[in-house]
Structure 1
Amino acid sequence: MTAILIGVCLMLQATPPPAADTVETHLKRAAAFEQKRDYDGAIPELRRALELQPDSVEAHGMLGEALLARGYSAEAIPHLERAERLDLLGIALTEEHRTAQAIEALLTALQKKPNDPDLLFYLGKASGFLSKKSFDRLITSSPESARAHELMAESYLAQQQISNAEREYRQALDLRPDLRGVHLALGLLKLGAGNLDEAEPEFRAEVKLSPGDGEAVWRLGSVLLQKGRTREALAELERADKLRPQMIETLYDLGKASALENHPDAAEKAWLEVIRLDGTSELAASAHLQLSQLYRRQGKLAEADGHLQRYRAMAKGKSPN
Structure 2
Amino acid sequence: MKIFLRIITAFILIAFVSCKEQKNGEYTEIPPENLDNIFASTEQIPDSDFLGDDACKKCHVQEYKDWEGSHHDKAMQLANRETILADFKGEKFTSQGVTSRFYTQGDDFFVHTEGPDGKYHDYKIIYTFGITPLQQYIVEFPNGRYQCLRTAWDSIKNKWFDLYPDFKVVHSEWLHWSRGGLNWNTMCSDCHSTNVRKNYNPDTKGYDTKFALINVNCEACHGPGKQHVDEASRMGQDYKASGNMQMTVNTPPKELVDQCARCHMRREQISEYFNFEGTMLDHYFPQLIDDRLYFADGQILDEDYVYGSFIQSKMYQNNVMCTNCHDSHSLALKFEGNDLCLQCHVPENYNTPKHHFHEVNSESGQCINCHMTGRYYMGNDFRRDHSFRIPRPDLSIKYDTPNACVGCHEDKDNEWAWEAFKELYGTPDYEHFSEMLAPGIHGDPEGKEALLKLMHDTLQPEIARASAINGMQYYINANDMNNLMTFLEDSSPLVRGATLDVLGNINTTDYATYLIPLLKDHKRSVRVKAFYALGTLNENQIPSEYKEAYARVKKEFFTYLDATSDFSGGLAKKASYYLKKGDLSQAIENYGKALDIDPLNNLVRTSLANLYYRNGELDKAEKAFKTIIEQEPGYGPTYYSLALLLAEVGRTKEAITELEKAITYMPENLRVYYNLSLLYDKGNERVKAKNTLLKGLKVAPTNEDLLYTLAFFYSKYGETEKAKEVGRQLLQLYPNNRNYITFMQQLEAVN
TM-score using structure 1 length: 0.54
Contact between 1:93 and 1:101, CA under 8 Å: does it hold in 2? no
Sort the Cα spacing of 1:88 and 1:150 in 2 relative to 1 into closer, same or farther, 3 A: closer
Measure how far apart 1:128 and its partner are. Answer: 3.2
Paired amino acid for 1:214 = G
Paired amino acid for 1:277 = A
> Counterpart of 1:147?
569
Q: Deviations over 1:240-261 (max 9, x none)?
A: 1121112122111211233345
Paired amino acid for 1:301 = T
> 1:184-203, aligned counterparts within 5 Å?
184-203=606-625
Sort the Cα spacing of 1:226 and 1:308 in 2 relative to 1 into closer, same or farther, 3 A: farther
Determine which of 481, 498, 502 is the counterpart of 1:127: 498
- For residues 147 and 266 of structure 1, the distance between their equivalents in structure 2, rounded to whole angstroms, comes to 42
Contact between 2:454 and 2:465, CA under 8 Å: does it hold in 1? no
Contact between 2:714 and 2:720, CA under 8 Å: does it hold in 1? yes
- The structure where strand makes up a greater share of residues is 2
> Counterpart of 1:53?
none
Contact between 2:463 and 2:495, CA under 8 Å: does it hold in 1? no
- Comparing 272-281 and 241-250, the one that deviates more: 272-281
- Comparing 270-279 and 210-219, the one that deviates more: 270-279
Indicate whether 1:247 and 2:610 are aligned: no
- For residues 726 and 615 of structure 2, the distance between their equivalents in structure 1, rounded to whole angstroms, comes to 33
Indicate whether 1:269 and 2:707 are aligned: no
> 1:91-240, aligned counterparts within 5 Å?
92=458, 99-103=462-466, 122=487, 125=496, 127-128=498-499, 139=561, 141-240=563-662
Q: What is the DSSP-based 3-state SS (H/G/I as helix, E as strand, rest coil) of the residue aligned with 2:637?
A: helix
Sort the Cα spacing of 1:152 and 1:85 in 2 relative to 1 into closer, same or farther, 3 A: same
Contact between 1:145 and 1:175, CA under 8 Å: does it hold in 2? yes
Sort the Cα spacing of 1:288 and 1:104 in 2 relative to 1 into closer, same or farther, 3 A: closer
Measure how far apart 1:140 and its partner are. Answer: 6.0
Sort the Cα spacing of 1:319 and 1:90 in 2 relative to 1 into closer, same or farther, 3 A: same
- For residues 673 and 726 of structure 2, the distance between their equivalents in structure 1, rounded to whole angstroms, comes to 18
Contact between 1:91 and 1:119, CA under 8 Å: does it hold in 2? no
Q: What is the DSSP-based 3-state SS (H/G/I as helix, E as strand, rest coil) of the residue aligned with 1:144?
A: coil
Q: Deviations over 1:220-279 (max 9, x none)?
A: 122222222222222211111121112122111211233345542331133356577396
- For residues 252 and 203 of structure 1, the distance between their equivalents in structure 2, rounded to whole angstroms, comes to 21
Measure how far apart 1:91 and its partner are. Answer: 5.3
Sort the Cα spacing of 1:84 and 1:224 in 2 relative to 1 into closer, same or farther, 3 A: closer
**Alignment coverage as a number of residue pairs:** 233
Contact between 1:103 and 1:127, CA under 8 Å: does it hold in 2? yes
- For residues 719 and 465 of structure 2, the distance between their equivalents in structure 1, rounded to whole angstroms, comes to 56
Q: What is the DSSP-based 3-state SS (H/G/I as helix, E as strand, rest coil) of the residue aligned with 1:186?
A: helix
- For residues 162 and 190 of structure 1, the distance between their equivalents in structure 2, rounded to whole angstroms, comes to 9
Paired amino acid for 1:298 = Y
Determine which of 676, 681, 684 is the counterpart of 1:259: 681
Paired amino acid for 1:179 = N
- For residues 676 and 655 of structure 2, the distance between their equivalents in structure 1, rounded to whole angstroms, comes to 8
- For residues 89 and 202 of structure 1, the distance between their equivalents in structure 2, rounded to whole angstroms, comes to 38
Q: What is the DSSP-based 3-state SS (H/G/I as helix, E as strand, rest coil) of the residue aligned with 1:228?
A: coil
Contact between 1:211 and 1:217, CA under 8 Å: does it hold in 2? no
Q: What is the DSSP-based 3-state SS (H/G/I as helix, E as strand, rest coil) of the residue aligned with 1:181?
A: helix
- For residues 277 and 206 of structure 1, the distance between their equivalents in structure 2, rounded to whole angstroms, comes to 29
Q: What is the DSSP-based 3-state SS (H/G/I as helix, E as strand, rest coil) of the residue aligned with 2:588?
A: helix
- For residues 225 and 168 of structure 1, the distance between their equivalents in structure 2, rounded to whole angstroms, comes to 29
- For residues 727 and 454 of structure 2, the distance between their equivalents in structure 1, rounded to whole angstroms, comes to 49
> Counterpart of 1:44?
none
Measure how far apart 1:150 and its partner are. Answer: 0.8
- For residues 623 and 604 of structure 2, the distance between their equivalents in structure 1, rounded to whole angstroms, comes to 12
Measure how far apart 1:195 and its partner are. Answer: 4.3
Measure how far apart 1:305 and its partner are. Answer: 6.7
Indicate whether 1:295 and 2:658 are aligned: no
Paired amino acid for 2:719 = K
- Comparing 191-200 and 233-242, the one that deviates more: 191-200
Paired amino acid for 1:300 = E
- For residues 118 and 259 of structure 1, the distance between their equivalents in structure 2, rounded to whole angstroms, comes to 42
Q: Deviations over 1:268-298 (max 9, x none)?
A: 13335657739676xx1xx566545533453
- For residues 162 and 249 of structure 1, the distance between their equivalents in structure 2, rounded to whole angstroms, comes to 28
- For residues 165 and 171 of structure 1, the distance between their equivalents in structure 2, rounded to whole angstroms, comes to 10
TM-score using structure 2 length: 0.26
Question: Percent identity over the alignment?
Answer: 22
Sort the Cα spacing of 1:265 and 1:160 in 2 relative to 1 into closer, same or farther, 3 A: same
Q: What is the DSSP-based 3-state SS (H/G/I as helix, E as strand, rest coil) of the residue aligned with 2:600?
A: coil
Sort the Cα spacing of 1:277 and 1:192 in 2 relative to 1 into closer, same or farther, 3 A: farther
- For residues 712 and 468 of structure 2, the distance between their equivalents in structure 1, rounded to whole angstroms, comes to 50
> Counterpart of 1:45?
none
- Comparing 147-156 and 118-127, the one that deviates more: 118-127
- For residues 216 and 251 of structure 1, the distance between their equivalents in structure 2, rounded to whole angstroms, comes to 15
- For residues 146 and 107 of structure 1, the distance between their equivalents in structure 2, rounded to whole angstroms, comes to 21
Contact between 2:609 and 2:620, CA under 8 Å: does it hold in 1? yes
Measure how far apart 1:197 and its partner are. Answer: 3.3
Higher relative contact order (CA 8 A, sep 6+): 2
- For residues 278 and 139 of structure 1, the distance between their equivalents in structure 2, rounded to whole angstroms, comes to 47
Contact between 1:147 and 1:172, CA under 8 Å: does it hold in 2? yes
Measure how far apart 1:303 and its partner are. Answer: 4.1
- For residues 307 and 265 of structure 1, the distance between their equivalents in structure 2, rounded to whole angstroms, comes to 17
Measure how far apart 1:307 and its partner are. Answer: 6.9
Sort the Cα spacing of 1:89 and 1:205 in 2 relative to 1 into closer, same or farther, 3 A: closer
* Unpaired segments ≥5 residues, structure 2: 1-23, 29-253, 255-313, 319-429, 434-452, 472-478, 488-493, 503-524, 530-556, 742-751
- The structure where helix makes up a greater share of residues is 1
- For residues 168 and 232 of structure 1, the distance between their equivalents in structure 2, rounded to whole angstroms, comes to 31
